[in-house]
Amino acid sequence: MKMPSILRAALVALVALSANVLSSAAQADSGFVSLVIYKAGWVIGGSGGSGTLTFRGRTYALSTGGLDYGLVFGGSKTVLRGRVSNINRPSDVAGVYGAAGAGLAVGRGARAIVLTNQKGAVLELTGQQVGLMANADLSGLAITMR
């Protein structure tokens, strides 16, 4: 049975694309991220902060900002540290990370979060939150390179 040339060309293109995707995934690397985020709000909240990315022996400055919508009340400071994976270059950590969540912090509390951006970078962060904050909301965090 002969394979039509269009089908054969599509099959060759699919194999080449698969090899390229697998090659890119195999070359992906990881780094270390440290963030300090200040958050405040009443129904609609905002957050902002800064941090660093350590990747392949170099340190890069980061800025963060975001919006929260839902049940948001109070203010807090959160210090997060952890791993960023699935990045090929430092700029891959930049992007918008979205999450739905709920929490309550009175005084000091622990935080842990896993987020993914549109480039496939995965943040796995843990840390401490200090302040008075109650939330059940949709939130977005934008990270930019400074």
- Per mean pLDDT, which range of 45-49, 50-54, 57-61, 130-134 is the poorest? 130-134
Each residue's pLDDT tens digit, 83-141: 999 999 999 999 998 765 555 566 677 777 888 999 999 999 888 888 887 666 556 78
- Per mean pLDDT, which range of 19-23, 40-44, 123-127 is the poorest? 19-23
Cβ atoms 78, 57 nearer than 8 A: no
0.75 exceeded by pTM? no
Q: In this predicted structure, what is the pLDDT of residue 16? A: 52
Host domain of residue 71: 29-145
Residue 9: inside a domain, yes or no?
A: no
Q: How many domains does the chain have?
A: 1
Residue 2: inside a domain, yes or no?
A: no
Rounded CA separation 118/100 (Å): 16
Residue corresponding to tokens 């022996």: 57
CATH of residue 113 = 2.40.128
Q: Provide the b/e sequence for 33-57 (b: ≥16 CB within 10 Å).
A: bbbbbebbbeeebebebebbbebee
Q: In this predicted structure, what is the pLDDT of residue 129? A: 83
Residue 19: inside a domain, yes or no?
A: no
